[in-house]
Amino acid sequence: MDLIEALLGVRGELLHQGSFAFAAGPARLVVAGLLIAAGLFVLVRYTRAVPGRLRLPLTAIRAAALALVAAILLHPVLVLEAIAPMESFVAVLVDDSRSMAIADQPGADSGPPAERGTRAGWARSNLQTDGELMVRLGERFKTRLFSFARDARRLDDPAQLDFSGSLTRIEAGLATVAEEMAGVPLSGVVLISDGAQTGGGDELTERLLELRARGIAVHPIALGRELWQRDVELREVRVAQRVLEGSALRAELLLEHSGATGETVEVAVLDGGQLIASERVELGPPGQPTAVSLTITPREAGPRALRFRVTPLEGEQLAENNHRVALVEVTGSAEKILYFEGEPRHEFSFLRRAVASDEALQLVSMVRLAENRFSRLSVDSGDELQDGFPSTREELFAYRALVLGSIEASFFTYEQMRMLLDFVGKRGGGMLFLGGGNAFGEGGYAGTPVDEVVPVVLPAPGSQGDFFTVMKVQPTALGRRHPVVQLTAEQGGEDLWQRLPALSTRNQVTRLKPGASSLLVGTGDGDDREQIVLAHQRYGRGRSVAMTAQDSWKWQMSMPLEDQTHELFWRQVLRWLVSDVPDRVEVQPSSSRVQVGSIVELLGRVRDLQFEEINDARVVALVQSPSGELSEVDLEWSVSEDGLYRGSMAVAEEGMHRVELRARRGGEEVGNAIAFVDAAELDEEFFRSGRRSELLAQIAEETGGRVHEPGEVADLVERLTYSQDGVTVREERDLWNAPILYLALLGLLVGEWTLRRTGGLS
Amino acid sequence: MTVPGGFASALRRHRTLLLPALLLCGSLAAWAAATEPWSGAPEPPQVETPSYEYDGRFTFVRIRFRPLDWGFGEYSWGLDLKWNHDYPQAEKNFSRIVEEITGIDVQQGTGNVLEIDDPRLFDYPWAYMCEPGFWSPTDEQVEILRQYLLRGGFLVIDDFFDQPGRSAQWSNFRHQIERVFPGVILYPMQVDHPIFRTFFELDDLDFSVPEMGDWFPPAIYGVFEDNDPQKRLLAIVNYNMDVGDYWEWSDTAFYPAHMTQKGFKLGINYLAYGLLY
């Protein structure tokens, strides 16, 4: 109750809605007239008896008091437009999601024991026929009850609420109310929710605009607490969706907490119940997410549901938001990489040997033995690379990555240069440039089409003489956290980098291209300028990497036989090079982890051998459910984007669904792709599950409603009553009994008395 | 002048001490021979050889070793130090031909001469050694060479001969390589192995020189990783052959031209194999 309401007996906002009037009937007017006449007579007499100095103020006070009494006698009222009783409707929309089961709602002491103290408990007790909300609404409105979680529905009985929805989509609830209540006088929507929205955002904005246009105000009753006293939440997990078997991948985690600044928690990753990584993390200031980077290696091939877990704090109130599951597909097939080397050298044989035992990589190699003489190694057939370096896009684009050794730019034709550019930019392949006497600027690449792809700045041809430097290699700050240069289990691995022998380069490379990052740098004896040793950048759809050292084999020759640094380094670099390289045909589900009963959108991409998008393919997804049931889903060209096809599949069973996309064109197979969708009970509802006041306020503001606390049910009902939405009647609210009138009268009388006493009058 | 009693009588007087004294001297001599080179023998002459700084290019490396017979009074070859046969002309000619014919970026000159226990050896994963019939590495050198080869090094062993019916050189080499790789199998190489086709396609492995007599049967053996002929060659052994000699005398008419050519082909193939496999 604010001050205006205390003084006037009505809420301030009603003063703006209504108009003032006097409601006194003829009898009361006569009585009032007589009283005023008598009053005036007394006033005149009284004025004469007062000495000159006090006459004017005392007369004024008495006149004012007389006027006030007269006004009260005339029965002042506030005339309002009120909702006609039982003529209008109010829709009550209740959040039926799992976050409502969180026990942070004081006052919810009735109802089933399991729901006591919960947001759900408050909702259920208020929605019973004898609940405060329903009783007050029932005095004036016809009510209609709706529930929403992922979808919305009309309820006949609050007992139908089970608070088990795995998603909160307020927009779905509002849409259903707007649709079902169209055509009836609707005074407003009461939204009972914590606002812990887990669904989409744009749709909600659209829905609010629609309600506003129709003049339907939404009045949220905000449940729950905004912040926990003690809680740590695994807010986000970012990890690649596909990885080669045996490869390490980096997972980026964001932790948020309340009440645990400076405390240490353990973050762990489990694959099939087995711990594959863990790290202890100190939590930062509240409201500031703590970022954690973990290097993990899934155990075996296939779709792997990786569970990321944060140990609960002591006395933590909500442990359900401490873990998340991410689906990663671990592929076992060998990725084909072309290594083209311009001269026989040790780097060639050592690099090949380093990855020879890696079954996930096939390093097809071609080395120029002499002018126009090549040697081919690890080719699939006698035809492969028979005519030298690929001269067509089809031939080159069949590889997923390309390693370019010490080969001068003039070796390639202009068309081959363009192909190399497109290999990364358009095909999305990985490209690695190795250091050497004929590489980088020294190989004449500056200013050629390939220059664009290289992640480092190339010196102009002829701008320098023969260059050679020996350098000690160290990871950069970024490199220390990057999985590609994690060569040891020890944190940071500084000791290992100190132990590794120095490498040499014949390429002067000291500047990165804008947007590129450096992972390894080298410093030579007496040379202050840092050489870039390993750098990378995204280029178009692909990635390019520069490794400027010419003799990484020294890591193999100079370290003990059992040391695996050299092997590990090249395995990681080459696996990184082929990671995320697109296939000609791809399939991507809108979500790889869903609730049973969900509809999953399938996005397919189809390209030809030159990686040109195809729009006229017949694209079908063959979905195999966990029980082995097969179904077909047609995907149609999206029209909005070349090569993009859309379709949707219904997920009816719990477990892993295999989706195989098959694309055909003109009776010929273009290709196929496989993806997985895991249907499981989701815990999304427990993330960001504190009350989202800002969202509820936005909903109220954009529709003309107002947010209410659970204790403000009476206010809410009154607000609805005078909302003027629906069938209205004229209603007068008495003002004659407003406390302010009697306080004013009292004030005048006390004023007069004081004046008289100080003036020496009796 | 006669000495009373004389040496013979002294011997007679102390004959009981004679046997223990002889045994002691013999044991000391055996111990000295087993542990250290003959301490009283002169050191081999220190031959100064040019040295090239590592610059990432291929540099010919020759292994220097202390010849087996040195110091036992049988050494009488002057500056014939065994390891230096054909040095440095072989290196010079070989490096020049490699540059002319192949795309290998090669350091010109006389290459580097390194002992096995010189840490710089690990900067050069391809090395050449000749006259292993006189090679007698220390235990430490044996372990270093084993590490060198298994980590990725490649060794060409050349220029050692036995006359028909004799096998002293082969026996010494066999004994020493057995120390490096206990249980090693020396596989007779066939011409269809990739090493004979890496750069040049060799039709045969016949390196006999009829003009010089036909009594050394040449043969090439291979030392493979894990004794598995499907795996990488760690060392190649030219027995009863001297490829280095072909390289050394290639600018004269000492050998028939076709043999000189064949010697280069073999050498270039050995080098290309070391760089490719």
Cβ atoms within 10 Å of A198's Cβ, excluding its own: 22
Closest CA in chain B for residue A350: B152
Contact B276 A554 (CB under 8 A): no
Mutate to test the interface with A, among B59, B102, B275 (most CBs of A within 10 A): B275
Closest CA in chain A for residue B200: A369
Q: Which helix (H) or strand (E) holds B170?
A: helix B168-180
User: What integer pLDDT is reported at residue A625 of this predicted model?
Assistant: 93
Closest CA in chain A for residue B277: A349
Q: Point out which residues pair with A258 in neighbouring strands.
A: A231
Query: pLDDT digits over A427-483, tens only?
Result: 999 999 999 999 999 999 999 999 999 999 998 766 666 889 999 999 999 998 888
Contact A556 B274 (CB under 8 A): no
Contact A343 B153 (CB under 8 A): no
Instruction: Name the band, by pLDDT with cuts 50, 70 and 90, for residue B74.
Output: very low
Query: pLDDT digits over A80-123, tens only?
Result: 887 777 888 999 999 998 888 888 887 777 677 888 888 999 99
Q: Which helix (H) or strand (E) holds B101?
A: helix B89-101
Asked if A545 and A430 count as a contact pair (C-beta separation under 8 A), the reply is yes
pTM over 0.80: no
Q: Are residues A398 and A544 in the same domain?
A: yes
Mutate to test the interface with B, among A346, A555, A563, A565 (most CBs of B within 10 A): A346
CATH code, B61-276: 3.40.50.12140
Measured CA to CA, the distance from residue B12 to residue A360 in angstroms comes to: 84
B188 vs A: CB within 8 A: no
User: What integer pLDDT is reported at residue A604 of this predicted model?
Assistant: 96
- Give the closest-approach CA distance of B237 to chain A in angstroms: 21
Contacts of A556 in chain B (CB under 8 A): 151-152
> C-alpha distances in angstroms, A621 versus A600, A604, A605, A646?
12, 9, 12, 10
- Give the closest-approach CA distance of A570 to chain B in angstroms: 15
Contact A343 B104 (CB under 8 A): yes
B55 vs A: CB within 8 A: yes
User: What integer pLDDT is reported at residue B76 of this predicted model?
Assistant: 47
Q: Are residues A95 and A217 in the same domain?
A: yes
Q: Are residues A325 and A339 in the same domain?
A: no
Contact A369 B54 (CB under 8 A): no
Closest partner CB to B104 (pick from A344, A353, A470) = A344
Closest CA in chain A for residue B98: A370
Q: Which helix (H) or strand (E) holds A675?
A: strand A668-679
Measure CA A368 to chain center.
Answer: 51
Q: Interior CA angle at A658 toward A652 and A662, to 5°?
A: 115
Measured CA to CA, the distance from residue A157 to residue A143 in angstroms comes to: 12
- Give the closest-approach CA distance of A237 to chain B in angstroms: 40
Contacts of A558 in chain B (CB under 8 A): 122
Contacts of B232 in chain A (CB under 8 A): 353
Helix axes B6-13, B15-35, angle to 10 degrees: 90
**Which one, of A382, A376, A449, lies nearest residue A415 by Cα?**
A449
Among A314-328, A420-434, A613-627, B252-266, the least confident range: A314-328
User: What integer pLDDT is reported at residue B41 of this predicted model?
Assistant: 54
User: What integer pLDDT is reported at residue A528 of this predicted model?
Assistant: 67
Measured CA to CA, the distance from residue A434 to residue A438 in angstroms comes to: 10
Closest CA in chain B for residue A407: B103
Q: What is the dihedral of CA A421, A480, A576, A424, to 10 degrees?
A: -10
Q: Are residues A615 and A741 in the same domain?
A: no
Give the pairing of strands A19-22 and A76-83.
Answer: antiparallel
A208: Cβ–Cβ under 8 A, 6 or more apart, which residues? A174, A218, A698, A699, A702, A703
User: What integer pLDDT is reported at residue A495 of this predicted model?
Assistant: 82
Residue A210 has pLDDT above 80, yes or no: yes
Measure CA B266 to chain center.
Answer: 18
Strand segments, DSSP code E, in chain B are 61-64, 112-115, 126-130, 154-160, 187-188, 219-224, 233-239
- Give the closest-approach CA distance of A417 to chain B in angstroms: 22
Contact A370 B103 (CB under 8 A): yes
Please count the residue pairs, one from chain A and one from chain B, whose beta carbons lie less than 8 angstroms apart: 81
Contact A556 B152 (CB under 8 A): yes
Six-digit token pair at A131? 């609940």
Q: How many domains does chain A have?
A: 5
Contacts of B100 in chain A (CB under 8 A): none
Contact A557 B275 (CB under 8 A): no
Contacts of B101 in chain A (CB under 8 A): 370
Measured CA to CA, the distance from residue A230 to residue B42 in angstroms comes to: 84
Q: Are residues A22 and A58 in the same domain?
A: yes
Closest CA in chain A for residue B57: A345
Asked if A691 and A222 count as a contact pair (C-beta separation under 8 A), the reply is yes
Instruction: Name the band, by pLDDT with cuts 50, 70 and 90, for residue B147.
Output: very high
User: Which single residue is written with the structure tokens 């690379």?
Assistant: A385
Q: Point out which residues pair with B187 in neighbouring strands.
A: B222
Buried b (16+ CB within 10 A) or exposed e, A395-415: bbbbbbbbbbbbbbbebbeee
B56 vs A: CB within 8 A: yes
The mean pLDDT value for A360-386 works out to 94
Closest partner CB to A346 (pick from B103, B199, B275) = B275
Measured CA to CA, the distance from residue A53 to residue A207 in angstroms comes to: 70
Cis amide leading into A285 (omega within 30) = no
Contacts of A342 in chain B (CB under 8 A): 103
Residue A74 has pLDDT above 90, yes or no: no
- Give the closest-approach CA distance of A413 to chain B in angstroms: 20
Closest CA in chain A for residue B152: A557
Highest mean pLDDT among A74-83, A239-248, B236-245: B236-245
Residue A200 has pLDDT above 60, yes or no: no
Closest CA in chain B for residue A553: B152
Closest partner CB to A349 (pick from B102, B123, B277) = B277
Percent pLDDT > 70 in chain A is 97
Interface predicted TM-score (ipTM) of this complex, two decimals: 0.85
**Which one, of A423, A339, A428, A426, lies nearest residue A385 by Cα?**
A339
CATH number for the domain harbouring residue A238:
2.60.40.10
Q: What is the mean pLDDT of chain A?
A: 89
Among A275-279, A533-537, B104-108, the least confident range: A275-279
Longest dimension (CA), chain A: 133
Contact B56 A506 (CB under 8 A): yes
Cβ atoms within 10 Å of B80's Cβ, excluding its own: 13
Asked if A120 and A100 count as a contact pair (C-beta separation under 8 A), the reply is yes
Q: Which of A163 and B6 is assigned the larger pLDDT?
A: A163
Q: Are residues A289 and A319 in the same domain?
A: yes
- Give the closest-approach CA distance of A563 to chain B in angstroms: 10
Among A537-541, A755-759, B38-42, B119-123, the least confident range: B38-42
The mean pLDDT value for B52-75 works out to 81
Domain ranges of chain B: 6-35, 61-276
Helix axes A565-578, A346-356, angle to 10 degrees: 80
Q: Are residues A312 and A343 in the same domain?
A: no
Cβ atoms within 10 Å of A424's Cβ, excluding its own: 25
CATH number for the domain harbouring residue A124:
3.40.50.410
- Write down the H helix ranges in A439-535: 477-481, 494-499
Classify A322 as helix, strand or coil.
helix
Contacts of A353 in chain B (CB under 8 A): 152, 232
For residue A596, what are the domain limits?
A: 585-684
User: What integer pLDDT is reported at residue B31 of this predicted model?
Assistant: 47
Percent pLDDT > 90 in chain B is 67
Q: Are residues A165 and A207 in the same domain?
A: yes
Contact B151 A468 (CB under 8 A): no
Q: Which residues of A touch B (CB under 8 A)?
A: 342-346, 348-350, 352-353, 367-371, 373, 375, 377, 437, 468, 470, 504, 506, 550-551, 553-554, 556-561
Contacts of B277 in chain A (CB under 8 A): 349, 352
Query: pLDDT digits over A568-613, tens only?
Result: 999 999 999 998 899 999 999 988 888 888 889 999 999 999 999 9
Residue A658 has pLDDT above 90, yes or no: yes
Among A439-443, A723-727, B10-14, B134-138, the least confident range: B10-14
Six-digit token pair at A256? 């948020």
The mean pLDDT value for A344-360 works out to 94
Contact B125 A553 (CB under 8 A): yes
User: Which single residue is written with the structure tokens 């050592």?
Assistant: A350
A328: Cα within 13 Å, side-chain hemisphere: 34
Among A140-149, A281-290, A705-714, the least confident range: A281-290
Q: Interior CA angle at B177 toward B173 and B180, to 5°?
A: 150
User: What integer pLDDT is reported at residue B156 of this predicted model?
Assistant: 98
The mean pLDDT value for A730-740 works out to 84
User: What integer pLDDT is reported at residue A214 of this predicted model?
Assistant: 87
Six-digit token pair at A72? 């009260």
Instruction: Name the band, by pLDDT with cuts 50, 70 and 90, for residue B3.
Output: very low
Closest partner CB to B56 (pick from A344, A373, A551) = A551
- Give the closest-approach CA distance of A664 to chain B in angstroms: 42
User: What integer pLDDT is reported at residue B139 of this predicted model?
Assistant: 97
Q: Are residues A396 and A521 in the same domain?
A: yes
Q: Point out which residues pair with B155 in neighbouring strands.
A: B127, B235
User: What integer pLDDT is reported at residue A628 of this predicted model?
Assistant: 92
Q: What is the mean pLDDT of chain B?
A: 85
Q: Are residues A526 and A622 in the same domain?
A: no
**Total residues belonging to chain B:** 277
Q: Are residues A381 and A519 in the same domain?
A: yes
Q: Interior CA angle at A580 toward A578 and A586, to 5°?
A: 115
Closest CA in chain A for residue B55: A468
- Write down the H helix ranges in A625-692: none
Query: pLDDT digits over B198-242, tens only?
Result: 999 999 998 887 766 666 789 999 999 999 999 999 999 999 999
User: What integer pLDDT is reported at residue B5 of this predicted model?
Assistant: 43
The mean pLDDT value for B71-80 works out to 53
Contacts of A352 in chain B (CB under 8 A): 277
Burial of A535 (0-12, 13-18, 19+ CB in 10 A): buried
Asked if B83 and B160 count as a contact pair (C-beta separation under 8 A), the reply is no
Q: Are residues A462 and A499 in the same domain?
A: yes
User: What integer pLDDT is reported at residue B16 of this predicted model?
Assistant: 53
User: What integer pLDDT is reported at residue B2 of this predicted model?
Assistant: 37
